[in-house]
Amino acid sequence: MKNDTNQTFSPERGTFSFSHSMVEAGKRRLGHIRIWRQSTGCAPTCSQRIIICAFGLITAAVTRYQIWAEPGAQQNNPENAIQVQNTEKHLPPPVLKGAVSAEEAISKRRSVRSFKGDSLSMEQLSQLLWAAQGITDEQRHLRTAPSAGATYPLIVYVATEDGLHRYEPASHSLTLHYDADIRRELADAAYGQRWIQECSGCLIFTAVYSRTAARYGHRAERYVHMEAGHAAQNVHIQAVALGLGSCPVGAFDDAKVGRLLRLPQGEEPLYIIPIGTPK
Ligand SMILES: Cc1cc2nc3c(=O)[nH]c(=O)nc-3n(C[C@H](O)[C@H](O)[C@H](O)COP(=O)(O)O)c2cc1C
């Protein structure tokens, strides 16, 4: 079944929570009319329907405000009470012609686990995030990596010394998600893989499976994993083209990483990619 609410193209979490809360409000309003009928034995008058409708819309607005204001509030975890901010940083536009050919980048790609530890520039970050999930068709809002039914279940975070940021494909910008350097704790959550701690920046792919499941049911899980592979390979190849190295990391404790990233319910960590200048 096609879920049109997931096909809209405004920034990810806002769109999803808005459409979801509006649908829920609509269901509630129908429920209220049913309860009215059952308790009074007659249908509500026109003005009574307007009052019920207004009540439903106010409930939706309050729900949406709560989701925007408290991204971690749905997870029953005291750590979610810690700072989650919403400061937007625009990235420089991606460069669409590079000095390294696709063939050369593919032939040179290796998993790199030893980094110099220098910082990533905004230009490098822009390019890597664009390769991961950037918009390449402004009209239809299609992205660098293919997505089953364009349902776009993936979200990309980047952990650097400047904190944990979330990538917003629609505006090609970063939103501050958590104001602390989490790389050391992320390495701990990945069974001590020290290249996560020593890299310049770590991309983390998470997935909201329900976006794809709403359309493809039980096949969604494999589709989401295929998609993560596409997006991650773009990042590995882009890293080589920038003179950087990267490493795929799939071995980590899901629950620990989910808590560390303050992920809301329904969003799962999938793939970690430490990136930096190879030593
Ligand atoms: C799904 C997946 C998960 C992986 N997880 C890890 C990991 O947790 N830690 C790590 O150091 N390498 C990890 N790797 C990297 C592989 O060890 C590496 O790709 C393999 O040894 C081949 O080397 P190459 O990437 O240099 O060609 C992973 C690779 C894949 C595809």
pLDDT of residue 40: 52
At 98-114, the pLDDT tens digits run 999 999 999 999 999 99
Ligand 1: which residue has its CA nearest to atom 15?
248
Task: Let me know: does 116 contact 279? Beta carbons within 8 Å.
Answer: yes
Please tell me the distance between residue 248's alpha carbon and the centre of ligand 1 in angstroms: 5
Q: What is the pLDDT of residues 50-91, one digit of tens each?
A: 665 465 555 444 433 333 323 333 333 333 334 445 689 999
How sure is the predictor about 257, in pLDDT bands with cuts at 50, 70 and 90? very high
- What does DSSP assign to residue 178? E
Q: How far is the CA of 198 from the centre of ligand 1 (A)?
A: 17
DSSP alpha helix (H) spans, the chain:
12-40, 46-69, 102-108, 122-133, 183-189, 194-198, 209-216, 220-241, 254-260
Q: Which pLDDT does position 89 carry in this prediction? A: 94
Atom 30 (ligand 1) nearest CA: 248
Average pLDDT over residues 9-34: 38
Contacts 24+ apart (CB under 8 A), 25-29: 25/56, 25/57, 25/59, 25/60, 25/63, 26/56, 28/56, 28/59, 29/53, 29/55, 29/56
Predicted confidence at residue 68, as pLDDT, reads 30
Does ligand 1 come within 6 angstroms of the Cβ of 250?
yes
Confidence (pLDDT) at 52: 55
pLDDT score recorded for residue 227? 98
**pLDDT score of 87:** 80
Are 92 and 126 in contact by the 8 Å Cβ rule? The answer is yes
Nearest CA to ligand 1 atom 21: 111
What is the model's pLDDT at position 54?
60
Which has the higher per-residue pLDDT, 54 or 29?
54
Distance from residue 38's CA to the centre of ligand 1 (Å): 61
212 in contact with ligand 1, CB cutoff 6 A: no
- pLDDT at residue 15 tops 90: no
Q: What is the mean pLDDT of residues 216-229?
A: 98
Rounded mean pLDDT of 249-255?
A: 98
For residue 202, name the pLDDT band (cuts at 50, 70, 90): very high
Is residue 161 over pLDDT 60? yes
Q: Is 191 in the pocket of ligand 1 (CB under 6 A)?
A: no
**Does residue 126 surpass a pLDDT of 60?**
yes
pLDDT tens profile 167-176: 999 999 999 9
The model's confidence at residue 11, banded by pLDDT at 50, 70 and 90, is very low
**C-alpha of residue 270 to centroid of ligand 1, in Å:** 14
**Mean pLDDT estimate for the chain:** 81
252 CA closest ligand 1 atom index = 8
Cα atoms in the Cβ-side hemisphere of radius 13 Å centred on 54: 6
Q: Cβ(175)–Cβ(88) under 8 Å?
A: yes
Q: Report which ligand 1 atom has the smallest distance to the Cα of 113.
A: 11
Ligand 1 centroid, distance to 275 Cα (angstroms): 14
pLDDT of res. 201: 98
What confidence tier does 2 reach under pLDDT thresholds 50, 70, 90?
Answer: very low
